[in-house]
Amino acid sequence: MDSSLILLGFALIAAAAIVAVALLRRPAPAPESAPPDPRLDTLIQAQGAISGQFAQTLEAQAQLQKALGERLDALNKRLGDSLHESAEKTAATLGSIGERLTVIDEAQKNISALSGQVVSLQEILSDKQTRGAFGQERMEAIVSDQLPPTHYDFQFTLSNGKRPDCIIRLPNVKGVLVIDSKFPLEAFETLRGLSSDEERKTATARLKADVLKHVKDIAEKYLIPGETQMPAIMFVPSESIYAELYTSFPDVVQQARRAQVVIMSPHVFMLAINTIQTLMRDARMREQAGLIQKEVGQLSKDVKLLADATDKLQRHMGQADGDIKDILTRAGRIVSRSEKIEKVELSAPEEAKALPKA
């Protein structure tokens, strides 16, 4: 409410009060004086109306202040809730950022560790002895993970004294499957580092000669008729070298197959081991099926014997039932005769008197 209205109300009240005091101080009129001035009544009524308006103005001002206070409280509450919500969202966002930074840090550590492992792998593949041990470890890990220990052996000694890296015993087969993991990689490494055609041609010839020599060694050492299965497996520990060998040197692969030697990468070797595992499971199932069939036959015999015993028991029960009926019939006759005898004994003295003498 405007303050000028309030001041105006106070001014009107003051003026009315002054007029009233002046009228009260005037000497009392004589009995014969003129009647009171009607404007005084009008002024008093106006003063009452002004007082009522002033009271209404004060009440309206109080209500306005109350409404303003309520709105300010609601605004403060909404502002506080909004700030609290914003603080929670900010804290959650900062926490998520911290988690992502932690994940990024862990990924960076893993990348650094992987880089070190790649360098270590290069060092392993650069040395012939460690490279052979690396290939053998990969092969042994695949075999030991898929097959039971009774179906394979590492460094097994054959009848000719040779020791392949691994042999696998197949179900229902006399010979064992031979696996060799010592693949020659020097020629591949040399071929990758050459640029001129003449040098690459020389390195390619060396590569073919090295691979075929290793194939020949496997065939001569490990393929024994009646003792080992054909073909033998040449394990290559690198998927890229295996793919390059099959893509760029198909004639070498064909010659290896004709020599009864199959070249396999880790993935292909794992598929072969899974196939062998399936064959072993089928063989065990056939064995179990034979045992089940045998047990079912024995069970059939037992059921037949039980049926014969039940038939005999039924005949015995029928005979026993006839015997029991016969026994009951005879027992009934005995009871009947006992009753007759009892009656005779009870009436014997009286009848003796009545009977005439012979």
For 156, residues 6+ apart whose C-beta sits below 8 A from its C-beta are 163, 164, 166, 167, 176
- Mean predicted confidence (pLDDT) in 146-166: 89
**Which pLDDT score is estimated for 26?**
53
pLDDT digits (tens, 9 = 90+) for 269-320: 988 888 888 888 877 777 776 677 777 777 777 777 777 777 777 777 777 7
pLDDT digits (tens, 9 = 90+) for 34-69: 555 666 667 677 767 777 776 777 777 778 778 887
- Mean predicted confidence (pLDDT) in 15-38: 55
Banded pLDDT at 348 (limits 50, 70, 90): very low
Strands 232-235 and 261-264: parallel
Please tell me the distance from the alpha carbon of residue 113 to that of residue 110, in angstroms, as a whole number: 5
Banded pLDDT at 179 (limits 50, 70, 90): very high
Please tell me the distance from the alpha carbon of residue 280 to that of residue 287, in angstroms, as a whole number: 11
Banded pLDDT at 188 (limits 50, 70, 90): confident
Please tell me the distance from the alpha carbon of residue 267 to that of residue 288, in angstroms, as a whole number: 31
Give the DSSP per-residue string, 76-111.
HHHHHHHHHHHHHHHHHHHHHHHHHHHHHHHHHHHH
Banded pLDDT at 12 (limits 50, 70, 90): low
Q: Answer whether residue 16 shows pLDDT above 80.
A: no
Could you tell me the fold of the domain covering 127-282? Trna Endonuclease; Chain: A, domain 1 (3.40.1350)
Q: Is 171 left (phi over 0), alpha (psi -120 to 50) or beta?
A: beta
pLDDT digits (tens, 9 = 90+) for 95-114: 778 787 788 877 777 776 66
pLDDT digits (tens, 9 = 90+) for 200-256: 788 788 888 888 898 999 999 999 988 998 889 999 888 888 888 888 888 888 999
* Residue from 177, 252, 264 nearest 216 by CA: 252
Using DSSP's 3-state secondary structure scheme, residue 228 falls into: strand
Strand ranges (E), 158-282: 166-169, 176-180, 232-235, 261-264
Q: Answer whether residue 119 shows pLDDT above 50.
A: no
**Which pLDDT score is estimated for 20?**
58
Q: Answer whether residue 120 shows pLDDT above 50.
A: no
**Average pLDDT over the chain, rounded to an integer:** 75
